[in-house]
Chains A and B, each alone.
Chain A
Amino acid sequence: MPESHVYKSKKGINKKVVEKISSIKNEPDWMKEFRLKAYLEFKKKPMPDWGADLSAIDFDDIFYYIKPTENQKNSWDDLPKEIKETYDKIGVPEAEKKFLAGVSAQYESEVVYESIQKALTRQGVIFCDMDTGLRKYPEIVKKYFGTIISLYDNKFASLNSAVWSGGSFVYVPKGVKVTLPLQAYFRINAKNFGQFERTLIIAEEGSFVHYIEGCTAPIYTTSSLHAAVVEIVVQKGARVRYTTVQNWSKNVYNLVTKRARVYEKGVMEWVDCNLGSAVTMKYPSCYLVGEGARGEVLSIAYAGSDQHQDAGAKMIHIAPNTSSRIISKSISGQGGRTSYRGLVQVNPTAKNSSVYVTCDALILDEESRSDTYPTMRVKNQEVDIQHEATVEKLGEEKLFYLASRGIKKSDAEGLLVNGFIDPVTKEIPLEYSIELNRLINLEMIGSVG
């Protein structure tokens, strides 16, 4: 893939780079200040030492901003040929024809192609890239940006806050139910290029939206960093589902902060599938601040050779009668490593709350590894808690059972693995679950061949 860019910042990060990003984008002063504050915070914060090994990340060897084309294109035909080819390979236009409500496709750090079906606009739904959101809807963005995940939250959230570019902005007005999922495709193409997209979703009272992000990345040789931030506001009685199918190439560090604040009787559902990347650290969170709020995380992680998937969930119960459910399924093979890391906190104020956690790990061979780090902080007595954790190996007896039906080993492994993740895959749209099953089987066949 040839690299053609209108503007590419120099490698490395400093105050000037941050200012330059803000000025190229012609941002309001408050955003520039926000970026600079975040940059200082990023410099101050130490690398997290409690999770995956991040020592190979060299912050001086990363491009922090690349703008691929001059202006936003709004029709498929206007897109440059090479970008179109990239998307043809992952089937964006076909998918759109079938059942997309809107496509926001990110090529490198800027969203260059975007179409929103007219029906959405008529309903008052806003679905655009974050930069456009900031330009066109500054009041809404200013009200919520950085309030769910503060720029002080963690080193990578600080970094994102300083250099963010692209991502999606979604606003669903009161009572509006978006019946078709909103989908965004991401792709990193340039070497040594970090992608720092920023997504903000606001679902007003009684509304519903399902947002899907699917990531695929071509293979390249040097390490790349993806540090995204996703903030979601679920107002009273609203429901938001956020589905991710992550398949970054095997050299990407995928360090993402995702959090939702859920108000009274609101529902937040994270469906999080991690297949790719060298290292992923991601713990989608729900802050259940309104009475009767509900949070859910359903996740799948697959780690093959040289991969570490450190994924999990966080549920913070603050209001009474809140409930949370975490279902985590992880698979490690070919020497890969998965970790479940979860936090459930039930505050004294969260009386009469219920918690359900189940994390299952499947280990495909002797070289692979799986760990579980569950943390429960329960600060009141009136809570119903269920917690289960299982670790199983892909047993010889089950494989023999399937062999005795004439199923060859690689197919049998695929069938068992797909069965193992079935409780989560049946929650995601069919075309994604088929793709996910296929991707996992391909990874596993790679191990046999």
Chain B
Amino acid sequence: MVYLKNLTVSVSNKVILDNLNFEFKKNRVYALMGPNGSGKSTLAYTIAGHPSYKADKKSKIIFNKKNITNETADKRAKQGIFLSFQTPMSLSGVTVFQLLRLALSGKKDPLSVKQQIDQLAKRLHIKRELLSRSLNDGASGGEKKKLELLQAVLLDPKLLIFDEIDTGVDVDALKTIAKFLDGFKKGRTIIIITHYNRILKYIKPDKVLVMVGGRIVKEGSYRLAEQVEKQGYEKIKS
């Protein structure tokens, strides 16, 4: 699905991602763990195409057998990459419907976009008033993440990256999100970036990756997440 080749990213001459080589496969759920500053979010931004995170010349990002290393974020998204933000922006005067109508123009008619939003909001227990408000304005942490998920479902991506999906999210919201994702994962690749294995109780990852210092230092099964929780990253590294 997505193949990272010699991926190196520096910000102000500091190497954040250090020659990563990895392939995320279809129909798999990955948990990406690691201490603060290990490069997890940078990896998410780099795959999504954030203009501030430029990969160096030798780097390659291959998505669906296509080299997308030099493509802009909107083009990557159109090809099926979706990033759920750690702290989603609030957009004043823009509702989730207006955003999705524009994002899906030419693909889905506005009426079915509207209907789908309403149905999903019900399933995800998103309060109706949030839909008519400016996106993410006055929403709680959990509500924001649910709205991210709602957007993901409508955009129907092949690769979903959830940056710190559990930060600021209460248990009930977390359960709802995880359960929904579990039913949504078929035919897709899901990368869940997290500090804790809390969410991993509800959606079992096929693979756990531990990132330290801009490299993937360890791969393993769900048990690796438990080990991280008990022993911390220092032990794992060594």
Contacts and interface: CB of A to CB of B under 8 A. Distances in A.
A404 B151 CA distance: 11
B155 A406 contact: yes
Contact of A405 (B49, B52, B93, B99): B99
Interface residues of B, number: 28
Contacts of A404: 48-49, 73-74, 77, 81-83, 85
B72 interface: yes
A396 interface: yes
A43 interface: no
Interface in B79-114: 81-83, 85, 88-89, 91-94, 98-100, 102-103
Interface string A397-441: 110111111111101100110111111000000000000000000
Interface string A253-271: 0000000000000000000
Interface in A14-69: none
A403 B94 contact: no
A416 B91 contact: yes
B134 interface: yes
Nearest to A406: B77
A303 B157 CA distance: 38
Interface in B53-93: 72-74, 77-78, 81-83, 85, 88-89, 91-93
Nearest to B48: A404
A418 B93 contact: yes
B50 interface: yes
Interface residues of A, number: 23
B91 A401 contact: yes
A400 B91 contact: no
Contacts of B81: 404
Contacts of B100: 405
A358 B83 CA distance: 35
Contacts of A406: 74, 77-78, 103, 155
Given A403-B49, A403-B74, A406-B78, A419 B93 contact: yes
Contacts of B102: 407, 411, 415
Contacts of A400: 50-51, 73
Contacts of B99: 402, 405, 407, 415
Contacts of B82: 404-405
Nearest to B91: A419
Contacts of B94: 415-416, 418-419, 422
Interface of B: 48-52, 72-74, 77-78, 81-83, 85, 88-89, 91-94, 98-100, 102-103, 134, 151, 155
Given A404-B77, A415-B102, 15 more contacts: A396-B52, A400-B50, A403-B74, A404-B48, A405-B82, A405-B99, A406-B77, A408-B74, A409-B72, A415-B98, A418-B93, A419-B93, A419-B98, A420-B92, A423-B93
Q: Sorted from nearest, which 9 A-B pairs have the closest CB atoms?
A: A419-B93, A422-B93, A406-B77, A403-B73, A419-B94, A403-B74, A405-B103, A406-B78, A401-B89
